[in-house]
Amino acid sequence: MTGSHDGILDTHESILDSTECFRPGPGGLAGWLADRALAAAPFAMGVLRHVAPIAGRGAFWVVTRYDDVREVFATDSVFGVPYAENLAVITGGAPFFLGLPDSPAYRAQLAAMQAVMRPGDLARLGDAAEARAAALLAGAGPQVDVVAFVRQVTFGLLGDYLGVPEPDRGSLATWGTRLFVFQFTGSVSDAAWRNETQVIATALRTHIDAVIEARKSGRGRVDDVLERCLALQDRGVPGYGDVEIRTALLCMIVGGPPQPPMVLPQAMEQLLRRPDWLARARRAARRGDDADLHAIVIEAMRFDPLAPGLPRKVLKTATLAAGTAREREIPEGATVIAAFASAMMDASRIPEPGVFNPNRLPHEYIHFGHGLHECFGRFINHATLHRMLKPLLAAGRLGRAPGVDGHLRKRGAFADRLLVSVGA
Ligand code: HEM
């Protein structure tokens, strides 16, 4: 083998074995500026919401009002998802419904997954989320990094539910998170990033293929998503070929568990800034009032949600907010950012948006998108997110760790570290 091959292999090995969930960012001034720009996004979006609610020209637009963000998401025949190209790098070319327009293929894939990820599972998932978090906390020291904590709980929980165990090397958490970051912030024209993604994606696909093969010779011992898929495959039901099962499991791992370790540490940071609400969340956790705890966590997430916005590609020139003073024509080919974080702060629809109020109505939240591509995992999220934080919140003592580590640190849009002190 030549030296240059060795070099490539070394690089592949180190990518697969890395415990880093994020590739090194631009660093230096560029990294600092990118972080500052993201940190300033809520303020900038707030200004736009008042002075130019549909802002932009030519190829790039930002939409910041609640009604207009919902219109963008709801009008998927005009504002299409731009995800297919990056997804193909991850799936090896197989389509997945997140990247598809409304079509028979989209509906068939969605239905195939709805048949195996069922409402009847939610209570069990909620209980398992809390049990995993409690067990992890019991073995933890006096300081807990909320990001790593939630990451471990959520990947374990969903890996088990889907039927995908940890690979022999690397981990679902690092591979899944790196693929997620590429999916939503990477570009296929960045050759180094694309190649690195291909290495990880190929390893994860190979792992899932091996898991499917192994399960075929040991059936009927567990009731998980893979087992249900194979049972439908046995009966010849369309939509459950090996590649379709692998693609669905892969995309659920990449699309789902990387997100609770973003939004929950952000919600915890918001609670730490509001001692009265933190105290109420802790009381709810201690007396097992899951409904109150759910409402508080979902409201805390509104002050720092998943991301400032989600992108859409304009498929044909369209008028947005037609008939209002905001009305703008957006040209075919443009990218539109539907700023759902801003929408959840829009006083024209959200009463007193700056006030922390867990009694809001469900439609006032857009945490999980809206319309055709609204999060497939939203019911799982409502059943599990607050339950993952519950044992931490119920601890006898909980507060920020001393120093900067006790304040949420982000890498771009991604929560990276938040250290809390806990005690019995
Ligand atoms: C904190 C947790 C989560 C958040 C904040 C979240 C957020 C979102 C959002 C905003 C979208 C819409 C994307 C768009 O319209 O561009 C979405 C879609 C999706 N989510 Fe989630 N998600 C979470 C967890 C999960 C979980 C646990 C799963 C699966 C187990 C999942 C599976 C999906 C899938 C498959 C889609 C695509 C739906 C479609 O195209 O019809 N998500 N998610």
Tell me what the mean pLDDT of segment 284-301 comes to.
Answer: 98
Pocket test for ligand 1, best of 375, 376, 384, 389 (most atoms within 8 A of CB): 375
95 lines ligand 1 (CB under 6 A): no
Predicted pLDDT of residue 32: 82
Name the residue with the closest Cα to ligand 1, atom 1: 260
Taking 60 as the threshold, does the pLDDT of residue 2 lie above it? no
- By the 8 A CB rule, do 32 and 18 touch? no
- Interatomic CA distance for residues 39 and 34, integer angstroms: 9
- By the 8 A CB rule, do 226 and 163 touch? yes
Quote the percentage of the chain above a pLDDT of 90: 91
- Interatomic CA distance for residues 40 and 28, integer angstroms: 18
Cβ neighbours of residue 100 closer than 8 Å, sequence gap 6 or more: 81, 84, 106, 109
344 lines ligand 1 (CB under 6 A): no
Structure tokens at 97: 């419904």
Which atom in ligand 1 lies closest to the alpha carbon of residue 154?
A: 27
Q: Tell whether the torsion through CA atoms of 24, 29, 30 and 35 is positive or negative.
A: positive
- Interatomic CA distance for residues 264 and 415, integer angstroms: 9
370 lines ligand 1 (CB under 6 A): no
Predicted pLDDT of residue 28: 72
Taking 90 as the threshold, does the pLDDT of residue 360 lie above it? yes
Taking 70 as the threshold, does the pLDDT of residue 423 lie above it? yes
Read off the pLDDT of residues 165-222 as tens digits, 9 standing for 90 and up: 999 999 999 999 999 999 999 999 999 999 999 999 999 999 999 999 999 999 999 9
Name the residue with the closest Cα to ligand 1, atom 39: 373
Taking 80 as the threshold, does the pLDDT of residue 324 lie above it? yes
User: Residue 404 Cα, ligand 1 centroid: separation in angstroms?
Assistant: 31
Name the residue with the closest Cα to ligand 1, atom 25: 256
Three-state DSSP state, 215: helix
Read off the pLDDT of residues 120-177 as tens digits, 9 standing for 90 and up: 999 999 999 999 999 999 999 999 999 999 999 999 999 999 999 999 999 999 999 9
- Residue 13 identity (one-letter amino acid): E
Confidence band for 1, pLDDT divided at 50, 70 and 90: very low
Predicted pLDDT of residue 37: 86
Assigned superfamily of 3-423: Cytochrome P450 (1.10.630.10)
Structure tokens at 72: 């963008």
Question: Hey, how many other C-beta atoms are within 10 angstroms of the C-beta on 232?
Answer: 17
Backbone angles phi and psi of 308, in degrees to 5: -60, -40
Taking 90 as the threshold, does the pLDDT of residue 77 lie above it? yes
- Interatomic CA distance for residues 246 and 281, integer angstroms: 39
Which atom in ligand 1 lies closest to the alpha carbon of residue 372?
A: 41
- pTM score of the predicted model: 0.96
- Interatomic CA distance for residues 273 and 190, integer angstroms: 38
- By the 8 A CB rule, do 248 and 113 touch? yes
More confident residue, 7 or 41: 41
Predicted pLDDT of residue 10: 59
Give exposure, 16-33, as e/b (b: 16+ Cβ within 10 Å).
Answer: bebeebebeeeeeeeeee
Count CA within 13 A, CB hemisphere, residue 291.
2
98 lines ligand 1 (CB under 6 A): yes
Name the residue with the closest Cα to ligand 1, atom 17: 375
Taking 80 as the threshold, does the pLDDT of residue 11 lie above it? no
305 lines ligand 1 (CB under 6 A): no
Cα-atom radius of gyration of the chain, to the nearest Å? Answer: 22
For the chain, give every domain's residue range. Answer: 3-423
Tell me what the mean pLDDT of segment 299-323 comes to.
Answer: 98
Name the residue with the closest Cα to ligand 1, atom 16: 310
Pocket test for ligand 1, best of 368, 372, 385 (most atoms within 8 A of CB): 368
Average pLDDT taken over every residue of the chain: 95
Q: Compute CA 318 distance to the chain's CA centroid, rounded to the nearest angstrom.
A: 29
Q: Tell whether the torsion through CA atoms of 205, 211, 214 and 216 is positive or negative.
A: negative
Cβ neighbourhood burial of 335 (10 Å; 0-12, 13-18, 19+): middle
More confident residue, 2 or 92: 92
- Interatomic CA distance for residues 70 and 207, integer angstroms: 38
Confidence band for 422, pLDDT divided at 50, 70 and 90: very high
Q: For residue 330, what is the enclosing H or E element?
A: strand 328-330
Which atom in ligand 1 lies closest to the alpha carbon of residue 380?
A: 27
